[in-house]
Structure 1
């Protein structure tokens, strides 16, 4: 549980957005979710836009921490099977309860960023150890445009996660393996 009040409120806002959608994201709803007195959220984040910006910054911080941790504990990928297994673990994490809620909030913010470019700037994919591990693996396999292929591969995996969040189900190892195989061509 975060001890910083701003972090606590941003985390509560992520949960509210995941559960109630963009229209349900209100200062009062965040107060309730954080189990704080009415008016607390608006004291820290005066406007809805300030609250949304804090929420997006927190999502990015959580994602970056997760990616850095994953990359730090993952040895160099040696083969397509290891990459497939790593991407499967990623998708399963994104579809499991806590990851699912963050994913729903992230996609809602991505759509909102179409109307609010300042959010888009925060949501821009960042370099991290996990992404670098994929790029290094593709380069080691002789893929000429490893950086571009990494972006394409991870975007496709993200698309599968989005599809399963919207339509239900899980991502299969065959789907991920097919994407990895295509990235290696």
Structure 2
């Protein structure tokens, strides 16, 4: 029950952070959102930093599971157009529903990690099946060797992440054409 309760509290903290921002993330707010007695969250996560660390760890676990599953489910793109469509679909998932909620929380945590390096260590991008598909595609289509493909993968995915951030802040969607231009630049 303790592990389930910790997961529930971390998931609820993600919701609170996405809805109310960093200032709204409190033990009481998580208790209320989880419909638990006052003091429950602080019994499991004594300090705000402990709660934030649990939230970030859960966020990374959810993201990694999604990316791993997507990488195992989605075939390797045959051409740049297929890669652009796949990445555009990924951005759409990041801008709606649960993906939006997690994106908002992730960016708030990334900013917080400037002041709390221990969070940065948790947020470091990790290898997963989705990232490997992009890297393997770029390597097979002209990126300069394995190191070049790694660098271009990071650059491409950082640019895609930037589009997600921009659309969260300014509204709108990400088009396949926009992503296609980024893929073409990564392949040059």
TM over 0.5: yes
Q: Secondary structure at the match of 2:127?
A: coil
Runs of 4+ in 1 over 6 A off after TM superposition: none
Find the counterpart in structure 1 of residue 117 from structure 2.
117
The equivalences for 1:59-138 within 5 A come to 59-138=59-138
Backbone CA RMSD of aligned residues: 0.8
Which residue of structure 2 lines up, in the alignment, with residue 20 of structure 1?
Answer: 20
Measure, in 1, the Cα distance between the counterparts of 2:35 and 2:77: 44
How far 1:82 moved relative to its partner?
Answer: 1.1
Moved more, 115-124 or 140-149: 140-149
For residues 39-64 of structure 1, what are the alpha-carbon distances to aligned partners after superposition, in whole Å with 9 as ceiling and x for unaligned? 10000000000000000000000000
1:138-168: CA deviation from partner (whole Å, max 9, x where unpaired): 0011211111000000000000000000011
Q: How does 1:34-73 map to 2 (within 5 A)?
A: 34-73=34-73
**After superposition, what is the alpha-carbon deviation per residue over 1:87-116, rounded to whole angstroms, capped at 9, x for unaligned?**
011000000121111000000000000000
TM-score, structure 1 normalization: 0.97
* Equivalent pairs, count: 183
Q: Distance in 1 between matches of 2:143 and 2:120?
A: 30
| Distance in 2 between residues matched to 1:88 and 1:172, nearest whole Å | 6
1:112 and 1:82 mapped to 2: Cα distance? Answer: 35
Aligned to 2:70, the other structure's residue is in SS state helix
Q: Give unpaired runs (5+ residues) of structure 1.
A: none
- Report deviation, 1:70: 0.2
- Determine if the alignment matches structure 1 residue 8 to structure 2 residue 8: yes
List runs of 5+ in structure 2 lacking aligned partners: none
> For the residues of structure 2 that align with 1:130 and 1:74, how far apart are their CA atoms?
9
Distance of 2:134 and 2:60 partners within structure 1: 20
1:160 and 2:163 equivalent?
yes
